Structure 1
């Protein structure tokens, strides 16, 4: 089932949500307004019609944001979401549905259908996730980090396998200072104790993810994981992680000969969970739009993502 939805903003930057009425699936949940694409309609035509029927407005301009594939017990849908900043009229609940204008930072507090939750992350979290090179010299890496932050990086993973505990802690503290000053988030790979001590996020390798029975850090301290298949994604969702990285989507230099899943398989794995998911493997920063057409939060990477 193809469904369209809109991210509508008012003059104050608040975003419109509509509450699903009684008698519908997921009644009472809040969602981005929209509806089904009818036979013979384009997604944009359906968006114009649905927003006029539901809210009494005329869309003047709409830009594709993300297309979220989602599997429900009784159906599979693709939620095709557009950003609508220009429209004519004042939105009103013409179908007796409740409406709410939410500030961006309050969106996560609304209970939503699974397909709508990744949209909130797209609106509020970075589209690119930078991962440390395997071998790094602290001074050189910090210089690269400074350049990446200056260029707009806002989510960074420190992965330093083989580095001694004290050296890693020192590097993490230096990186934390830089990231906090830039308004960026820093996660450390595989070191739950260090993340807890320094108040950083934690990125779990798949083997650690699958060995856990509970979320390793409290809510409010980001926990993410590397995933490669449906079982790992399901475990990340059961544990209540904040996002996952899924791949490899394409062949990579770091894992020559490893099979790539491709975008279609990425999309099929993505539809089974409502986690935000970054695509990984042979990708570049410019691949954000492609990732989002397949339901991704954005892209993650190493070589192509760091300043030269």
Structure 2
């Protein structure tokens, strides 16, 4: 299962406590959440994951663990560009990519999806770039080759960019900052995906 909209957590940007922020995003349509906050103490992060699973399960949602370290059994994971592939393969694996070489690696590993960033300039990760924009996204997607995992555009993607991302070949989008600062905006992403 490749999510069309992946909401990525970052409690430092969240307008309210992280669970409340994610609950508000789920209430307006989020169905896939990546629990990123890797700096949380292990026990606290595991407890938060359990709470988020309880929130997502009734709506058929998907919780994804950021990184492979400490991932609860049976939970999908999303690896950073530098993370080694887990020895025991989780049920689903995503990977963050920023270049053609990283996309090729994810394909060779058999990843189920990748995020490709940055689509546009972003406040969350100003050191990454240059921004791909629609043309750069399309070029990377087209160059992936057969059997490559679906791409989610990430980084500075606004609801008005969704149609352009899909037209460029992305399967969906991933969103962190906007959804953390104002989870109600998730409804706009969902509407843009439904209209495309």
CA distance in 2, matches of 1:257, 1:132: 19
Helix, strand or coil at the partner of 1:157:
strand
Partner residue in 1 for 2:116 = 246
Which of 274, 287, 294 lines up with 2:161 in the alignment?
287
TM-superposed deviation, 1:295: 0.2
**Secondary structure at 2:71's aligned position in 1?**
helix
* Aligned residue among 231, 239, 244 for 2:101: 231
Matches of 2:156 and 2:50, distance apart in 1: 30
Change (3 A) 1:136 1:171: farther
Give the structure-2-normalised TM-score.
0.81
From the superposition, tell whether residues 287 and 136 of structure 1 become closer, same or farther in structure 2 (CA, over 3 Å): closer
1:160 corresponds to 2:33: no
Contact 2:124–2:177, Cα closer than 8 Å, also in 1 = no
CA apart distance, 1:155: 1.1
Residues of 2 paired with 1:204 and 1:134: CA distance?
A: 19
Rg larger for: 1
Taking the aligned partners of 1:304 and 1:136, their CA distance within structure 2 comes to 9
Q: Which runs of 5+ in 1 are unaligned?
A: 1-123
Structure 2 CA distance for aligned equivalents of residues 251 and 170 of structure 1 = 33
SS of residue in 2 equivalent to 1:207: coil
After superposition, the C-alpha distances for 1:168-188 in whole angstroms (9 at most, x for unaligned) are 111111111111111110101
Structure 1 residue 146, shift from structure 2 partner? 1.4
In terms of fraction of residues, the more helix-rich structure is 2
Contact 1:134 1:161 survives alignment (8 Å): no
User: Superposition pairs for residues 77-96 of structure 1, below 5 Å?
Assistant: none
Native 8 Å contact 1:192 1:217 kept in 2: no
Q: How many residues were matched structurally?
A: 177
1:217 and 2:89 equivalent? yes
User: Residue in 1 aligned with 2:188?
Assistant: none
Structure 2 residue runs without a partner (length 5+): 185-196
Displacement after TM superposition at 1:192 (Å): 4.2
Higher relative CO (Cα under 8 Å, sequence separation at least 6) belongs to: 2
Greater strand share, 1 or 2?
1
Q: Please give the alpha-carbon distance, in whole angstroms, between the structure 2 residues aligned to 1:136 and 1:180.
A: 25
Q: TM-score, normalised by structure 1?
A: 0.53
CA-atom RMSD, angstroms? 2.1
SS at match of 2:17: helix
Which of these residues, 53, 77, 80, is aligned with residue 202 of structure 1? 77
Residue 137 (structure 2) aligned to one of 237, 242, 266: 266
